[in-house]
Structure 1
Amino acid sequence: MGTAAATHPAVSYVMPVYNEAAYIEAAIDSVLAQRYEGPRELVVVLGPSTDGTTERVAARAAADPRITIVENPQLSIPVGLNRGIRAAAHDIIIRVDAHTELPADYTSLGVASLQRTGAASLGGLMVATGRGRVQTAVARAYNSRFGLGGGAYHGAASEGPAESAYLGIMRRGPLEQVGLYDEGLKRGEDWELNFRLRAAGHLVWFDPALRVAYWPRDTWSKLARQFRATGIWRGELVRRLGGRNSLRYFAPPALVLSLVASLVLLVLELTGVVSGWPAWLLSPVYLGPVLYLALLLVLLVRRSSGERFADRLTFVGVIVVMHLSWGAGFLRGVAVGARDAVDRSRIES
């Protein structure tokens, strides 16, 4: 009994949910279908959904005693996660999202990695997938170094210490030691939690054997709102933590600033306000946008087997929306703080 408990300790899955009727059934199924010998429970932290999600979750909880519902009227992910963790019965917390589907061996591999490394928090790869042209292009951008890029969980090949962990398989003790998730944040809560864990001397680990299917936003407007909100909250974290943020976060806002500067300079040149040597002196301002346009052109003409031009064009459009929405949001967050900015991509169609 003791050996089994040590090898397969009990786990609590914590899933914040709001307006996810199209994805919630598959997400719950993937949790309940885990091939894991230890005790398990699923704590669904439920926001006041308006699309039928609440009824679907209630029906699943009524039919399966492993599912517990915790209410989250504030619609705050960090608040909901903390409520779920406090309601959880077990010491290993596995965060899952309604937009994700876990492979059947996710828990067994993750718990084994947690025990082997002694990490406080670990995660694996986000493998974005999509249906239809737009969501498929968004998924491709998520998986591309040109889209999100930089973070280990978007494509790193080897395991090791990490800056953050996607979703997170975590130990309750270290989480409680650092005060759980920061409830003052609306986005970026995972990165900020793992930052505090690392600052407290705990190990955060990346294991590419863990692969999670993720369904990204499926419309242009949802994508833009999501990335603008994420950029705003990253700007807020830069205000709080300064240079302790990775340099890769500063690339999209630098692009936005260079685009604005280039447009201003172009107008001044066309109207004759700036000419001659001052124009030549200021011409390096165009370098950033020109290089970015060159990159987009390469992505547009580079063809994969069976791929249509319309697919490549949509992919390039998605890249631009991601970068500009995130960069503009970041600048706003740095300038005035996040204040009450929220991700409205699940609230509005």
Structure 2
Amino acid sequence: MPVLNERDYLGRAVETVLAQDVPGPTELILALGPSTDGTNALAAELAAGDDRIVLVENPGADIPIGLNLAIRAARHPTVVRVDAHSELDPTYARRALATLDRVRAANVGGVMRADGRTPFQRAVARAYNSPIGLGGGAYHGGTQEGEAESAYLGVMRREVLGEVGLFDESIRRGEDWELNLRIRRAGYRVWFDPSLAVTYWPRESWARLVRQFSATGRWRGELVRRFGRGNSLRFFAPPALVLTILLGIIVGVLQLTGLLQGWWSVAASVVYLPVLAYAVLIAAVALGRGGGHGWRDKLWTAAVLPSMHLAWGWGFLLGVIGGAHDTVDTSRLGSRNTPLP
């Protein structure tokens, strides 16, 4: 479990991991980044109360580095990746181990079941759980068991990780997708099992959400630069939306200034149609059952969906054009009221 500024969530996450009904020895390795909200003190307190908890330092805070540090410190043949922003059902690990053996897979994952505590967080959760929000990846609500492109978190055979290499430490976002690409290219199965579900708590504020999705989109652009056709076509929808809106703005300015007139102006107006269709889709989701029950929930849903899509899409374009370089997800840095020095 990589951990950075998760004091509000860490205790419950650790509790659900330690409660796993697994027929054999287990350990929980926390890779601790330089938190500023008291998370590490809480982690030390939890470790003092249960000898199954092992602490390793991750001074750079990068997730793939923390994961590799934890895996190298692990003693058992199966690696279960978990998240400090998530909660596991008591049967999660046992079921995943059974699926791992049943289908002879190298990595098994299930559904990310997002949830929220506030109107905003609930709106983000609805977006996560909707194919409209995150593009229809299997682990965002799929129901059909089978081979998959990637796995959410993942229950992995350590021997396979040793063969293909651990997480690529040069990739700060999308590291799980890249690892699963190597696993599949090595001839092993990555498997999706919809009976496995993990409760995930998304970002709590609009600014953090935008920073998260901008960084994630930029790294996806970097992955497109590195792996090209290995990326699913669904990743290109948000940048296509951004480009269409930008084109619509340019056409609108040319029409208003009189530089685009007559038949050319009419023909160029076609660019507004996909933007209008997108706006109608967002309104339909926000006002429908998927938008929640209260008016605040519906308004946040209408704001969250385009915020996610546009931030991700803009980040993607920057990543494709210039690469991700040292881009980090700054939504994870600092507590709500305590910035990093």
- TM-score tier by shorter-chain length is over 0.9
Q: Choose which of 2, 14, 39 in structure 2 pairs with 1:53.
A: 39
Root-mean-square deviation (CA), in Å?
1.2
Does structure 1 residue 123 correspond to structure 2 residue 109? yes
- Equivalent-residue separation in structure 2 for 1:226 and 1:340 (angstroms): 14
Return the letter of the residue paired with 2:152: Y
Residue 183 of structure 1: SS of its match in structure 2? coil
The Cα shift of 1:171 comes to 0.4
- The range that moved more, 90-99 or 276-285, is 276-285
The answer for the alignment partner of 1:153 in structure 2 is 139
1:253 paired to 2:229: no
Which SS does the other structure have where 1:22 is aligned? helix
Residue 276 (structure 2) aligns with: 290
Deviation, structure 1 residue 255? 0.2
Q: Which amino acid is 1:34 matched to?
A: Q
Distance 1:306 1:140, change over 3 A: closer
Q: C-alpha distance in 1, partners of 2:307/2:201?
A: 18
Say whether 1:203 aligns with 2:189. yes
Aligned pairs for 1:4-23 within 5 A? 15-23=1-9
| Deviation string, structure 1 residues 291-312 (Cα, Å, up to 9, x no partner) | 1111122223324798122211
Q: Which amino acid aligns with 1:196?
A: R
Q: Provide the C-alpha distance between the structure 1 equivalents of 2:37 and 2:232, rounded to a whole number of angstroms.
A: 37
User: TM-score of the superposition, structure 2-length normalised?
Assistant: 0.96
Q: Give me the whole-angstrom Cα distance separating, in 1, the residues matched to 2:291 and 2:98.
A: 38
- Once the two structures are TM-superposed, the CA of residue 284 in structure 1 deviates from its matched residue by 2.1
Question: What does 1:70-81 align with in structure 2 at a 5 Å threshold?
Answer: 70-81=56-67
Letter of the 2:148 partner, please give it. A
Specify the alignment match of 2:51 in structure 1. Answer: 65
Distance 1:305 1:52, change over 3 A: closer
- Cα separation, 2, equivalents of 1:114 and 1:51: 37
Match of 2:157 among 156, 171, 191: 171
Say whether 1:144 aligns with 2:111: no
TM-score (norm 1): 0.94
Could you tell me how far apart the structure 2 residues matched to 1:231 and 1:321 are? 12
Instruction: Using the TM superposition, give the Cα deviation of residue 347 of structure 1 relative to its aligned residue in structure 2, in angstroms.
Output: 1.1
* Aligned pairs, number: 335
* Letter aligned with residue 85 of structure 1: I
- Residue by residue over 1:231-260, the C-alpha shift from the partner in whole angstroms, topping out at 9 and shown as x without a partner, is 000000000111221111000000000001
Instruction: Provide the C-alpha distance between the structure 2 equivalents of 1:29 and 1:130, rounded to a whole number of angstroms.
Output: 19
Matched AA of 1:321: S
Match of 2:332 in 1: 346
Does 148-157 or 245-254 show the bigger shift? 148-157
Letter matched to residue 217 of structure 1:
R
Q: Deviations over 1:190-213 (max 9, x none)?
A: 111001100110100000111100
Deviation at 1:149, TM superposition (A): 2.8
User: What amino acid is aligned across from residue 256 of structure 2 in structure 1?
Assistant: L
Aligned partner letter, 2:135: G
Task: Map 1:169-248 onto structure 2 (within 5 A).
Answer: 169-248=155-234
CA distances 1:53-86 after superposition (whole Å, capped 9, x unpaired): 0000001111211110010001110011011101
Residue 230 of structure 2 aligns with an amino acid whose one-letter code is: R
Shift of 1:158: 1.8
SS of 2:27's partner is: strand
Distance, in Å, in 1 between the alignment partners of 2:236 and 2:255 is 28
CA distance, structure 1, for counterparts of residue 325 and residue 210 of structure 2:
19
**Following the alignment from structure 1 to structure 2, what is the Cα–Cα distance between the partners of residues 254 and 94?**
35
SS in 2 for 1:166: coil
**C-alpha distance in structure 1 between counterparts of 2:328 and 2:138, whole Å:** 26
Report how far residue 174 of structure 1 moved: 1.0
| CA 1:304–1:322: 2 relative to 1, 3 Å | closer
Separation of aligned partners in 2, 1:226 and 1:301: 26
The residue that corresponds to 2:305 in the other structure is 319
Answer whether contact 2:47 2:53 (CA < 8 A) is retained: yes
Q: Tell me, in whole angstroms, the C-alpha distance in 2 between the residues paired with 1:306 and 1:75.
A: 35
Give 3-state SS (helix, strand or coil) of 2:325's partner. coil
Shift of 1:221: 0.3
Query: Percent of aligned positions with the same letter in both sequences?
Result: 55
Which residue number in structure 2 is paired with residue 278 of structure 1?
264
Q: Distance in 2 between the 1:242 and 1:273 partners?
A: 38
In structure 2, give the amino acid aligned to 1:132: T
Matches of 1:68 and 1:101 in 2, distance apart? Answer: 19
Q: Give SS of 1:23's match.
A: helix
1:39 is aligned to 25
